[in-house]
Amino acid sequence: MSSELQLTYLDHSGFIVETEQQVLVFDYYRDSAKVTPEHLTKGKPVWIFSSHAHADHFNPQIAAWQDNVTKYILSSDIRQAGGLSNVAADKLIYMNQDEQNNQGDLQISTFGSTDEGISFLVEVDGWRIFHAGDLNWWHWKGDTEENLQFAKDGFFREMDKLGGQSFDVAFFPVDSRLEEYRELGVREFCKRTNVRQLVAMHLCGQAWIPDETFITTHPAVAAWSPNTPGDKLSVLK
């Protein structure tokens, strides 16, 4: 029996993932297409994930949804930054990297980041969904050799933990500001893991179109690079 996953792009690294039974919202920042309200009121359990406290990944406005939210799963640095103090405590779960938390139908595992916060692996309704947050190989032109090596080492440490994992959907940064180095992280990620549907995020302006080299190197990876808030993709299995 086949099942379907519906992905909706919000903005930047923000997405709604809807399974047949659950609604997951990752890294809500803003929603110019105004698609979030309809997903909050479908009668399905709603789970809100925020990978870190940076304003382009975490918007305190999500507190206003608490009557429709089952749980908020937030990086512990968000609590250190003030958290969601007006949300009922029993709806808040703060997590560090390398932790696990089971919430009935959801199994949540966290990994690290190469900036702030954490990344998420969520297993739900037979799907394995990875959201990288700001985990990436951040190779900035003009940076010092020491900083570049530090960034690479941090990324490879996390990839050593993730190596061999399989994901039905993986959201991963492909930041255009890195220019010719924007694909370093995503290529290594796809090399080390088994990804069915890759979703590019954190694009910062310029859409990403996988070139022929990427496609031939990773023939099993379907890639989607949404550019307009409200864009949708259905994933079947």
Residue 233, CB half-sphere, CA atoms under 13 Å: how many? 19
Q: Are 136 and 200 within 8 A, CB to CB?
A: no
Over range 126-148, report the average pLDDT: 97
* pLDDT tens-place string over residues 172-218: 999 999 999 999 999 999 999 999 999 999 999 888 999 999 999 99
Please state, in angstroms and rounded to a whole number, the distance separating the CA atoms of residues 34 and 20: 21
Q: Are 137 and 188 within 8 A, CB to CB?
A: yes
Residue with tokens 């903005």: 11
Q: Which residues pair with 119 in a beta bridge?
A: 111
Q: How confident is the model at residue 1 (pLDDT cuts 50, 70, 90)?
A: low
* pLDDT tens-place string over residues 36-57: 999 999 999 999 999 999 999 9
- pLDDT at site 206: 87
* pLDDT tens-place string over residues 72-126: 999 999 999 999 989 999 999 999 999 999 999 899 999 999 999 999 999 999 9
Q: What percent of the chain has pLDDT over 90?
A: 96
Instruction: Give pTM, 2 decimals.
Output: 0.98
* pLDDT tens-place string over residues 3-28: 999 999 999 999 999 999 999 999 99
Which of 114, 127, 111, 131 is CA-nearest to residue 12? 131
Q: How confident is the model at residue 233 (pLDDT cuts 50, 70, 90)?
A: very high
Range(s) of the domain holding residue 189: 4-236
* pLDDT tens-place string over residues 152-173: 999 999 999 999 999 999 999 9
Q: How many domains does the chain have?
A: 1
Over range 138-163, report the average pLDDT: 97
Indicate whether 2 pLDDT > 90.
no
CATH code, 37: 3.60.15.10
Indicate whether 150 pLDDT > 70.
yes
- pLDDT at site 85: 83
